[in-house]
Structure 1
Amino acid sequence: MAYRYWCGECGFKTPWLSESEGEQRQLDHYAQRHPGIPPGGHVEANRKNPEGGIGCVHVIGIIVLLLIIAAACSR
């Protein structure tokens, strides 16, 4: 899933990133623009276009289907 981190002190927001990368960019922003202030703001999750998601389920389904076909053909 992709996340966007918003600064609690100004209008800064990260682009849609992985959770760890977005958090690191927010920490870097606070260190540069708001030194001495603990990081705040909020995190937004991209629910409309999640990165990754169920893509792995499709691959597993194809593999299972191929195994069934191979087992049926070997008889």
Structure 2
Amino acid sequence: MDYRYWCGECDHRTPWLDQPQATQQHLDHYAGHHPAAPPAGQYETTRHAPDTGLGCLTAVAALFLLLVLAAACRR
């Protein structure tokens, strides 16, 4: 997962990086530009690869199997 931190004091944002790198850049920004302020702001995340939709397909397949099992048990 990639992270991007937003400064709480100005409109600076880190580039999309893994969490340790993004955190370090955020801390470096605060040390250089806002030394008296504690690090603040927000962050956002994104996945490395797009979602393939297999999670939904797995859920539908599991529900179908439960339905078949329930139908078989009623007989």
Same fold at TM > 0.5? yes
Deviations 1:16-65 (A, max 9, x none): 0000100000000000000121000001011xxx12689xxxxxxxxxxx
Q: 1:6 is aligned with what amino acid?
A: W
TM-score by length of 1: 0.63
Which residue does 2:55 correspond to in 1?
A: none
Q: Distance in 2 between matches of 1:18 and 1:53?
A: 16
Structure 2: give runs of 5+ residues left out of the alignment.
52-75
Alignment of 1:1-75 (within 5 A): 1-46=1-46, 50-51=47-48
| Alignment length (residue pairs) | 51
TM-score by length of 2: 0.63
State the Cα RMSD in Å.
1.7
Higher strand share: 2
Larger-Rg structure: 2
